[in-house]
């Protein structure tokens, strides 16, 4: 528990320290490079902004209409077997399809339940450890005109489900 | 995909809200959703720029080539058909390194390039080779040292410890990647 927190706390400062020292040793103009890279961050956020509004509208509608609660109540008995909180199901289902949509859903879940709650931690860990599987497969295969993807989807989904189950288990253990 | 899901979500929710009498809640959520998109983007902007800045420094150093060397033993297991002197080898490792450093913008073009290179030697042009399949699976595994996006979200939502999920994310990612690659190794013999 404490070790998990300690290592997690160490990771960011260590990575920044390491990269900057590395840059200085190799005599790069680290500050100029940093500024140049930071500019790119603005573009990332600007690009994602319209999607955020669109998805927040849909997710907000789903939740405020009471539909999410209805679905959660239906799914609860099944999910309880695996000790998966039903609240993260919208994220688990959207995650393989769209990166920005699942980001909006994760934000919604985290802000509703609290960033440091078990559900908030699970949602964060799922977001960090899985990818937009369907999108990635579609992008990489269509770029070279491939139609037969063989076992790729099965393996990628096995990876996603494993990642999600492990996320739930670790976060339950942590708190 | 979202062209289908998005309208369905909205239409069903609005109709359901009208049926059960939650119209005022729906009305409120419409304006709240655009406001929270702005709030999130603004808090998000800071952390995002910080990381793209730091990672740009990493990109300019020889760190990427160092990491490429570290990947050697893993490459041998995952891509037995691709030799070290192949162009594809270099493109694959560069893509994986970019993913590890969280350089999504750099990783995708590199990945597409690697796919095109591998397609040149593909005997069946409409079917994935073993190496191409493995490469895609690795790209769906989200191997990253610092899950910057999630940390940015968590700190913007008032977490006491936004980085507390780093170790859990590492463990979950590794388990997912192992499950994906091992299942691929088994399945590629049959399909």
Full residue range of the structural domain in which residue A90 is found: 2-174
Residue B116: its pLDDT value, please? 93
Q: Which residues, given as ranges, of chain A have pLDDT below 70?
A: 1
Task: Name the residue in chain A with its Cα closest to that of B124.
Answer: A146
Query: Residue B98 — pLDDT band, cuts 50, 70, 90?
Result: confident
* Cβ pair A65:B140 closer than 8 A: no
Res. B14: pLDDT tops 70: yes
Question: Chain A: nearest CA to B5, how far in angstroms?
Answer: 9
Residue B106: its pLDDT value, please? 76
Q: Where are the domains of chain B?
A: 35-190
Res. B3: pLDDT tops 60: yes
**Mean pLDDT across B141-163:** 87
Lowest mean pLDDT among A145-149, B62-66, B69-73: B62-66
C-alpha dist (Å) from residue B20 to A151, B13, B25, B26, B138: 44, 11, 11, 11, 45
Q: How many residues does chain A have?
A: 175
Q: With the CA atoms of A138, A141, A143 and A146 taken in that order, what torsion angle do they form, in degrees rounded to the nearest 10?
A: -130
E strand spans, chain A: none
**Mean pLDDT across B44-68:** 85
Residue A1: its pLDDT value, please? 56
pLDDT tens-digit map of B77-89: 999 999 988 889 9
Which residues are within 8 A (CB) of B179 and not within 5 positions of it... i.e. 6 or more apart? A158, A159, A162, A163
* Cβ pair A145:B125 closer than 8 A: yes
* Cβ pair A44:B147 closer than 8 A: no
Phi, psi for A12 (deg, rounded to 5): -65, -55
Give me the percent of chain B exceeding a pLDDT of 90.
44
**Mean pLDDT across B96-108:** 83
Q: Which two tokens stand for residue B73?
A: 């033993």
Which residue has better confidence, A141 or B65? A141
- Other CB atoms within 10 A of residue B34 CB: 15
Q: Could you say which DSSP state residue B175 is in? A: H
Query: Residue B115 — pLDDT band, cuts 50, 70, 90?
Result: very high
* Cβ pair A140:B57 closer than 8 A: no
* Cβ pair B166:A155 closer than 8 A: no
Res. B105: pLDDT tops 60: yes
Res. B76: pLDDT tops 70: yes
Query: Residue B1 — pLDDT band, cuts 50, 70, 90?
Result: low
Mean pLDDT of chain B: 89
- Give this complex's ipTM: 0.83
Task: Name the residue in chain A with its Cα closest to that of B146.
Answer: A12
Residue A86: its pLDDT value, please? 86
Out of A19, A125, A137, the one facing B54 most closely (by C-beta) is A19
Out of A28, A124, A163, the one facing B61 most closely (by C-beta) is A28
Query: Residue B117 — pLDDT band, cuts 50, 70, 90?
Result: very high
Instruction: Please name every residue paired with A148 in a beta bridge, in sequence order, or none if there are none.
Output: B127
Instruction: Please name every residue paired with B24 in a beta bridge, in sequence order, or none if there are none.
Output: none
Instruction: Please name every residue paired with B127 in a beta bridge, in sequence order, or none if there are none.
Output: A148
Query: Residue B188 — pLDDT band, cuts 50, 70, 90?
Result: very high
């Amino acid at each position: 528990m404490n070790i998990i927190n300690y290592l997690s706390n160490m990771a960011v400062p260590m990575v920044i320290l390491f990269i900057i020292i590395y840059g200085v040793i190799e005599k790069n103009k680290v500050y100029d490079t940093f500024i140049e890279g930071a500019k790119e961050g603005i573009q990332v956020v600007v690009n994602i902004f319209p999607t955020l509004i669109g998805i927040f509208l849909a997710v907000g509608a789903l939740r405020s209409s009471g539909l999410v609660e209805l679905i959660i109540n239906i799914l609860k008995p099944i999910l309880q077997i695996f000790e998966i909180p039903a609240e993260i199901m919208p994220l688990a289902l959207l995650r393989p399809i769209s990166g920005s949509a699942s980001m909006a859903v994760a934000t919604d879940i985290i802000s509703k339940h609290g960033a440091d709650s078990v559900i908030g931690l699970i949602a964060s860990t799922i977001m960090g450890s899985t990818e937009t599987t369907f999108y990635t497969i579609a992008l990489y295969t269509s770029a070279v005109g491939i139609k037969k993807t063989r076992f790729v989807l099965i393996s990628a989904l096995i990876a996603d489900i494993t990642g999600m189950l492990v996320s739930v288990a670790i976060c339950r253990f942590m708190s | 995909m979202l062209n289908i899901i998005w309208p369905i979500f909205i239409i069903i929710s609005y109709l359901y809200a009208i049926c059960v009498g939650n119209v005022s809640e729906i009305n409120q959520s419409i304006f709240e959703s655009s406001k929270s998109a702005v709030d999130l983007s603004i808090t998000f902007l800071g952390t995002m720029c910080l990381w793209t800045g730091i990672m740009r420094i990493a990109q300019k150093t020889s760190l990427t080539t160092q990491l490429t060397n570290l990947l050697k033993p893993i490459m041998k297991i995952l891509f037995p058909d691709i030799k070290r002197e192949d162009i594809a080898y270099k493109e694959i490792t560069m893509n994986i390194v970019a993913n590890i450093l969280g350089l999504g913008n750099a990783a995708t073009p590199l990945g597409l390039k690697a796919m095109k290179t591998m397609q040149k030697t593909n005997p069946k042009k409409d079917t994935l080779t073993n190496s191409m399949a493995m490469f895609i699976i690795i790209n769906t595994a989200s191997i990253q040292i610092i899950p910057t996006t999630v940390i940015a979200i968590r700190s913007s939502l008032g977490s006491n410890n936004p980085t507390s999920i780093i170790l859990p994310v590492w463990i979950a990612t590794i388990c997912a990647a192992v499950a994906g690659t091992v299942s691929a190794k088994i399945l590629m013999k049959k399909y």
